[in-house]
Structure 1
Amino acid sequence: MKKYIVLILSLVALQLQASPFYNVKDYGAKGDGKTIDSPAINKAIETAAQSGGGTVIFPAGTYASYSVRLKSNITLQIEAGATLLAAYPENGIGYDAAEPNDFNKFQDFGHSHWQNSLIWGENLENITICGQGLINGYGLTRGESRLPGVGNKAVSLKLCRNVVMRDLKMLNCGHFALLATGVDNMTIDNLLIDTNRDGLDIDCCRNVRVSNCSVNSPWDDAIVLKASYGLGFFRDTENVTITNCYVSGYDRGSVLNGTFQRDEPQAPDQGLVTGRIKCGTESSGGFRNIAISNCVFERCRGFALETVDGGVLEDIVVSNLTMRDIVNSPIFLRLGARLRSPEGTPVGRMKRITIDNVNVYNADSRYGCLISGLPGHYIEDVKLSNIRILYKGGGTAEQAKLTPPESEKLYPEPWMFGIIPSSSFYIRHAKNIEVKDVEVSFMQPDYRPSIQLDDVKGSRFNNVRINQPEAPKKFAVINSDEPAIRN
C-alpha cells in the first residue's frame, strides 16, 4: 500500500512540474497578507522556468512579498481578488540590493538601479504580467534610499524583449510603477495606475505600444518617455505609440477608489500637481518616431517635449488631446543644455514636430504655450494646428515688460522662465514655426501681448483668433523675422 501511495504522489509531482500553470500556493505561499510569500513565489517561477516556462498564478488572497525575480518565458497572472503586496522591510531585511552602476551620476538614482524592486528582470524575453488583481506598493519608498532592504519600484525591467503588461491595477508604487529600460517590443494595455510618484517610465526602449491606460500621479509624471545613460551607453527611445490614455493629478488613491479628490494641491516640487504625458527629462539619448493620440489630461500639467542632456528629439506627432484644469503650460517644448551626460556631449536638437487637434479648458495663464530653444540652438519645424484654449487670464501690463531668463542649465519646467510676457504663446530661439486655426479665449482680461516672438526665423500664422474684448496688440516681435500672417 505504501508503495502505491509513493507512486501516486510521485506521479502527481511530475504532473505538477509538467503543467504550464503554477499556483503559488502549491509552493508554500499563504496569501494571508502577513507571511512573506516571496520565497514561495520565486520557487514557483524557478520551477516553471526549468520546465521551459509557464504561467505563475496568484489566486485570491494578499501575498506580502519582497523582490520577485522574473525569468524568461514566464507569465505572472494576478487574478481577481488577489493582491501582490509590497511588504515593509524590517531590520534591513527586504528587497534585493540596488546593484552597482558606474554611470549613476548621469541620471536619478531610481533610473540607475533595477534590482531594488518588487518585481524585476534583466536580459529576459517573453514576459507577461497580467490579471484582474492589484499590485500594491505599500512598503516601497518613493525616494532614493540606499538603506539595506529598501525597494523603490513596483516593476523594473532592463534589457528585455517581448514584454506584455495588461489589465492590472497598481497602487502607490514608489518611484516608478513601471521602469522599463532598454526594453524592445513591449505592449502596455488597460492598466489602472494610481501612484505616489511616476507611473509608466519608458526609458531607452524601442517598439512600444501604450494603450487604454489610466494613470493618476499627482506627485510626478503619469506616462513619460526617457532616454537616460543608465545602461552605460547612448540609446534612443523610438517607435512608440501612446493612445487612448487618461492622465490626471487627483489625490493619491482617489481615482482607484472612484472619489477623485482634490485636497492635495502640490507635488513635492511645489509646482502644483503633476500627472501629464512627457518626453524627457533624462535625455542623453534621443526620441524618434513617437505618435501620441486620443488622450485626456485632467487636473495636471500640460503636454511636454524636453531634451536637455544632448539627445535628438525628432519626428513626433501628437493629435487629439483634450485637457481640463491644466496647472502650467498646455504645450511646453524645451531644448536646453543641462547636459547631464558624459563629458563632451553636445547640445541636442529638436525638430519636425506636429501637434494637431488640441482642446484646453481652464489653463494657467502665467506661462501660456511655450516653445524655447537656446541662442544658436533652435527648435525647428514645428506645426501647431486646430487648437482651442481657454486660459484663466489675469496677466498685467507690467508682466508684459518681463524678459524671461535663458535658464539653460535648469531642470525643465515652465516656471523656470517665471511669468512670461505674453498671454497665449511665447516662442524663442526657433525656426520654421507654423501656427494655424487656433482660437484663444480668457476667463478674465489679460493685458499682455497675445504672442511674443524672440529670435524666431520663419514663422507663419494663419487664422489665429484671440477672443478678448480689451486685448492689447496681438504680436510682440523681438529680434525676429516679421511673421507671415493670414487671417
Structure 2
Amino acid sequence: MANERRDFLKMTGLVAAGLMLPGTAEAAPASPWDQVPLILARIVPPTFPDAAFDVTAYGAKGDGETKNTEAFRKAVQACNRAGGGKVVVPQGSFLTGAVTLLSNVNLVVSAGATVKFSTDPKDYPTVFTRWQGIECMNFSPFIYARGQRNVAITGTGTIDGQGPSGPWFDYDDERGPDWDRLQQMAVDNMPVTSRTFGSGHFLKPNMIQLYECQNVLVEGVHLRNPAMWTIHPVLARNVTVRNVKLYSRGGMVDGCDPESSSDVHITGCQFDTGDDGVAVKSGRDTDGRRVGVASENIVIQNCTHLGRWGALTVGSEMSGGVRNVFFEDCTIKKGSSYSAFHVLYIKTNKRRGGTVDGVHARRIKASGVQREAISVTLNYSLTGPGFGPIVNPAVRDITVEDMTVDGASYAWSLDGLSESKITGMSIANSTFTKITNATPKVKNATKPTYTNAKVNGKTVT
C-alpha cells in the first residue's frame, strides 16, 4: 500500500513538492488541496504578438445583416500566416457563420462589439467533433479549432449564438433517431469519419469547441444564447476560462464542459444557465472508453452560479474517467429566472464504466437549492435502451469542507449500485439549514465520514 501511494504521489507531483519523500515508510497523508498550487503553476495562458488584424479590413461590416463568414476566415488566416496576433472585432454587430480559429490567434471581441451567429444550419460545415460524449462528424461549433496551439477568445464584447432565434431548439424534438443511430454506431465501432451527421440531421452544435488544442484562453467575453454546450474544451491541455459572463436558456445549454481535458482553470465566471454551470466530462459509454482519456486536474474558483441543475456537475458522460477536480470559494444563488437544483452533482450509470476519483469542494455558499444540495447517483438515466454492455462505474473520494447551504430538499443523497458502492465520502465543518428532509439519503454507499456536519442545527453522526 505504501508503494502504491508513493507511485500515486510521484504521478501527481507531490513528491517533487517535498510533501512525501521516496523511501519513507509511512508519511502523513497529504491533503488533496495541496495539489492545487501545483496544478495552477502548470496552467499558463497563452500570449500573443501585438499585431492586429481588424475584420473590417477584410470586408466585414458591422451592420447586423451582412454575413461576414468569409471576412472572419481571411482575418484569421492572415493572422496565423503572419506568426500570430489579434483578430479584432470592433464596435458593431457582426453576423457570421462558423469561425475556425488557428494557432497563435486571439479573437478579440471589443467593447461595444457583438459577434452574432447565423441561424442558418447551412453556415456550419461538417467537422470532426464530439456530440454528448461520442465522436462523430457533425455541424461545426460556432467557434471551432482542432489541433491548434495558443488560441484565445478575449475582450469585453458579446458573442451571441442566437440559439432561441434559430431552428436549433426545434432539433430537440427531432433528434431522437439521429441520437439513437450515433449511439449504435459507437457500439458497432464504426470509424468516426463514417458517423456523418450535420446538414439534414438534428444534432445541434456547441457554441465554442476547442478540440485537441493546447494553451487555450477564454476571457472577459459575454456569451449569450448558445444552441448547446457553451464552452467545450475536448482533449485539450492548459486551459484558462476567466471572468466570462454567460447566459443560456433551453435544453442542453451548459456553461463550461471540459471533456477529457487536463490542467483546466475556471475562475471568476458567472454562469446564468438553463442547465449545468460547470460540467466535467470524459466521453460516453463504449466510445468514451475507446478514447479512454480522463478529465483531470481541474480547478474551479470564485465563480457564481445563477442557473439550473448543478453548479458543479461531474458526468454523466464520464466513461474515460475523472480525477482531481477542485471546487472552491464559489456562490450559488437564484438568478434571473432559475435556482439551482444541486450544488454538487455527480451522475453516472451502469453503462458508463470509468472512475470518478477525487472531487473536492470547500468554502461554498448556496441558497435556495431546489433538490439535494449534494447528489451522487450511479443510477442516472439510461437512455438508448439496448445500446452497449453493462459496465459499472466507480465513484470514490468525494470531500466537502466548509459548505453552507440555506435551503434544499435534502442536504445530501448518495445513490450507489449494489455492484459498485460509493466510497470515501466525507463532509466536514459544513452547515445545512432550511432542509425539508433532515435525514440524508445514503444507499449502496459506505458510511460517509462526518466531522462537525450539521443539518437543521443537529450534528450528523
TM above 0.5: yes
Q: 2:283 maps to what in 1?
A: 228
Q: 2:391 maps to what in 1?
A: 346
**Residues 1:33 and 1:275: Cα distance change in structure 2 (over 3 Å):** farther
Letter in 2 for 1:438: A
Query: Post-superposition shift, 1:432?
Result: 4.9
Superimposed CA distance per residue, residues 126-173 of structure 1 (whole angstroms, 9 cap, x where no aligned partner): 101100100001156244565459863221111111100001101111
Cα distance between partner residues in 1 of 2:327 and 2:257: 15
Letter in 2 for 1:120: Y
2:161 to 129, 137, 147: 137
Cα distance between partner residues in 1 of 2:453 and 2:80: 56
Q: Secondary structure at the match of 1:198?
A: coil
Give yes or no for the alignment of 1:214 onto 2:270: yes
Query: Post-superposition shift, 1:19?
Result: 7.7
Letter in 2 for 1:433: P
Letter in 2 for 1:283: M
- 1:440-455 residue pairs with structure 2 within 5 A? 440-441=455-456
Cα distance between partner residues in 1 of 2:301 and 2:72: 33
Q: Secondary structure at the match of 2:60?
A: coil
Q: 2:440 maps to what in 1?
A: 425
Q: 2:242 maps to what in 1?
A: 189
Q: Given the two structures, how large is their TM-score scaled by the length of structure 2?
A: 0.74
Q: 1:300 maps to what in 2?
A: 340
Query: Post-superposition shift, 1:215?
Result: 0.4
Larger radius of gyration: 1
Q: Secondary structure at the match of 1:304?
A: strand
Cα distance between partner residues in 2 of 1:343 and 1:376: 18
**Residues 1:137 and 1:339: Cα distance change in structure 2 (over 3 Å):** closer
Cα distance between partner residues in 1 of 2:214 and 2:430: 38
**Residues 1:342 and 1:55: Cα distance change in structure 2 (over 3 Å):** farther
Query: Post-superposition shift, 1:116?
Result: 2.2
1:281 to 316, 320, 327: 316
Q: 1:54 maps to what in 2?
A: 85
The farther-off stretch of 277-286 and 338-347 is 338-347
Q: Secondary structure at the match of 1:283?
A: coil
Contact 1:114 1:156 in 2 (8 A): no
Q: Secondary structure at the match of 2:406?
A: strand
Letter in 1 for 2:254: D
Letter in 2 for 1:43: K
Contact 2:240 2:266 in 1 (8 A): yes
Cα distance between partner residues in 1 of 2:402 and 2:309: 22
Cα distance between partner residues in 1 of 2:93 and 2:262: 34
Percent of pairs with identical residues: 23
Cα distance between partner residues in 2 of 1:227 and 1:153: 16
Cα distance between partner residues in 1 of 2:413 and 2:56: 54
1:122 to 122, 129, 146: 146
Structure 1 alignment gaps of length 5 or more: 1-17, 250-272, 396-422, 443-463, 467-484
Q: 2:122 maps to what in 1?
A: 93
Cα distance between partner residues in 1 of 2:51 and 2:127: 32
Q: RMSD of aligned C-alpha atoms?
A: 2.6
**Residues 1:275 and 1:80: Cα distance change in structure 2 (over 3 Å):** farther
Higher relative contact order (CA 8 A, sep 6+): 2
Q: Secondary structure at the match of 1:208?
A: strand
Contact 2:55 2:72 in 1 (8 A): yes
- 1:306-455 residue pairs with structure 2 within 5 A? 306-308=347-349, 309-336=352-379, 338=382, 343=388, 346-365=391-410, 368-393=411-436, 423-441=438-456
- 1:436-475 residue pairs with structure 2 within 5 A? 436-441=451-456, 464-465=458-459
Q: Secondary structure at the match of 2:456?
A: strand
Query: Post-superposition shift, 1:289?
Result: 1.1
Query: Post-superposition shift, 1:316?
Result: 2.0
Q: Secondary structure at the match of 1:132?
A: coil
2:98 to 34, 50, 67: 67
Give yes or no for the alignment of 1:238 onto 2:293: no
Query: Post-superposition shift, 1:113?
Result: 5.4
Q: Which has the higher helix share?
A: 2
Cα distance between partner residues in 1 of 2:304 and 2:237: 24
**Residues 1:171 and 1:372: Cα distance change in structure 2 (over 3 Å):** same
- Runs in 1 of length 4+ with deviation above 6 angstroms? 339-342
Q: 2:14 maps to what in 1?
A: none
Structure 2 alignment gaps of length 5 or more: 1-48, 176-197, 334-338
Query: Post-superposition shift, 1:342?
Result: 8.7
Cα distance between partner residues in 1 of 2:319 and 2:162: 32
**Residues 1:275 and 1:133: Cα distance change in structure 2 (over 3 Å):** farther
Q: Given the two structures, how large is their TM-score scaled by the length of structure 1?
A: 0.70
Contact 2:294 2:323 in 1 (8 A): yes
Cα distance between partner residues in 2 of 1:424 and 1:149: 47
Cα distance between partner residues in 2 of 1:93 and 1:335: 39
Cα distance between partner residues in 2 of 1:123 and 1:25: 27
Superimposed CA distance per residue, residues 20-61 of structure 1 (whole angstroms, 9 cap, x where no aligned partner): 210000000001100001110111101111222221001101
Letter in 1 for 2:320: G
